């Protein structure tokens, strides 16, 4: 599955559209975010996570979405189940994100 782009206007509808959602918060200036983008895209196509909707949100341009997850560093990942925030993590390690995804 592909990674979908989101923003303040779309996020609530996207959270309601699927039981399990992961959001990656990034900024255009964030080098670590750019490096992690390919890993995130690959994980979105991983069979183990086929029931999870993968979203990308630019943290600088979407303050309401950023506030919803309590973003305090980048890249930042938030998981939601049935529209409710479950867990968050700021990481550049793929194994940490895999563990987060497995815990939804």
Catalytically annotated residue among 3, 11, 30, 53: 30
**CB–CB of 26/71 below 8 Å?**
no
Give the list of residues 6+ apart from residue 44 with CB closer than 8 angstroms, or none. Answer: 1, 2, 3, 52, 54
Instruction: Give the residue extent of every domain in the chain.
Output: 4-102
User: Selecting from 3.40.30.10, 2.60.120.10, 3.10.20.600, 3.40.50.2000, what CATH number does the domain 4-102 have?
Assistant: 3.40.30.10
Residue-wise pLDDT for 67-84, tens only, equals 999 999 999 999 999 999
Predicted model pTM = 0.95
Query: Residue 14 and residue 27: Cα distance in Å, rounded?
Result: 20
Per-residue DSSP letter, 74: S
Task: Establish whether 63 is a catalytic residue.
Answer: no
Residue-wise pLDDT for 38-64, tens only, equals 999 999 999 999 999 999 999 999 999
Task: Establish whether 30 is a catalytic residue.
Answer: yes
Which pair of structure tokens corresponds to residue 27? 């900024």
């Amino acid at each position: 599955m592909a990674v979908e782009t989101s923003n303040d206007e779309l996020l609530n509808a996207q959270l309601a559209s699927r039981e399990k959602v992961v959001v990656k918060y990034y900024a255009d200036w964030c080098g670590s975010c750019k490096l992690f983008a390919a890993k995130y895209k690959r994980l979105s196509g991983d069979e183990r996570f086929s029931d999870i909707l993968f979203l990308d949100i630019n943290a600088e341009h979407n303050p309401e979405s950023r506030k919803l997850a309590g973003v305090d560093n980048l890249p930042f990942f938030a998981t939601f189940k049935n529209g409710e925030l479950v867990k968050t993590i700021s990481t550049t390690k793929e194994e940490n994100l895999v563990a987060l995804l497995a815990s939804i």
